[in-house]
Structure 1
Amino acid sequence: MSLINTEVKPFKATAYHNGKFVPVTEADLKGKWSVVVFYPADFTFVCPTELGDLADNYAEFQKLGVEIYGVSTDTHFAHKAWHDTSDTISKVGYPLVGDPTAVLARNFDVLIEEEGLALRGTFVINPEGQIKLCEIHDNGIGRDAGELLRKVKAAQYVAAHPGEVCPAKWTEGAETLKPSLDLVGKI
């Protein structure tokens, strides 16, 4: 079953954020747009490139009222150690959530059970706590924060403009579509 339009399931976790350990629950994902980005593990290879890319674009997400949550099955203690020892991860200003019991990875259906690691899952969640975008990659394929930013803008546009949809390669300010019988077979 698809997770699209389902509500985020209850969870309790601890994140490393701004030099502190802070609690994070499903309630934190409500009332604003959120992006939850699962990655396999701290101290690895592709993961820091993705988290660093998100860090470089974090201000743009924040301008849209979006909070990012990086999640792996590591502990929040491992997140702190990685933050303290990696130049790339030290740039991360968004919460890094520990999921050592894999509750979140299971809730979002990204857990590789036999490895205890998460797949590269990206989820955009609206202010009501509903999943509006779900994208899962093989762990060898890195993601692009710029493309994610475009998708978040599209999701926010569609939410704010009922009856309109964003076509392929839509960018902010570009023309949208209003589905109707007049468009059938003419695009």
Structure 2
Amino acid sequence: MPEDRVLVSPRYLAGAGIDRLADAIGPLVHLFGWPNEHDRASGRISVHSPDGSLFVNFNSRHTHGRWWSLAHHEPYWEARFTWQTPIEAIAAVTQALPQLLDDDRHVDRIPLTTTPPLAQIAELNHWHREDDTFTSPDGHCHLQHTPAEDTPWRFRHHVYDGFDTHWDASFTQDTPERLVA
């Protein structure tokens, strides 16, 4: 279908895709039966795993522009995405969540990456590495990996100041690396 094509390359230049929220939340609700709540007054959407261990929240009124947060309990980890993060990236993360909870009913439709470690993926795609930071070939996207930090994985993107091209994605300790990938 034409609407399924990626129209922006590289993908990290795509926009937030507010009209495509269903790409990130829909599979959890419709394919996996995750309960959800939608507060129409605030626009907040919350989806949680059937066992209550994992939560996905969307809040377009978050004061710091962190529209998306995913939180897992035992072990605790959290992923946060700002409002301009490409919806394709968020959907890739949310759609992999059921498999992290050993629900492989739709593994043929939504495969979880089994690729090499993220640092190796960056190198294979010609990202430049300097100390703990990888930079995309065009210099607009940065991946910082500092394993000793509370938030060891941070993605930052910008093209030009003032054009709403900034976005951030961060993953705290204990976030499965294959989810970050």
Taking structure 2 as the reference length, the TM-score comes to: 0.29
More helix by share: 1
Higher RCO (C-alpha under 8 Å, 6+ residues apart): 1
Q: Between Structure 1 and Structure 2, whose CA radius of gyration is higher?
A: 1
Taking structure 1 as the reference length, the TM-score comes to: 0.29
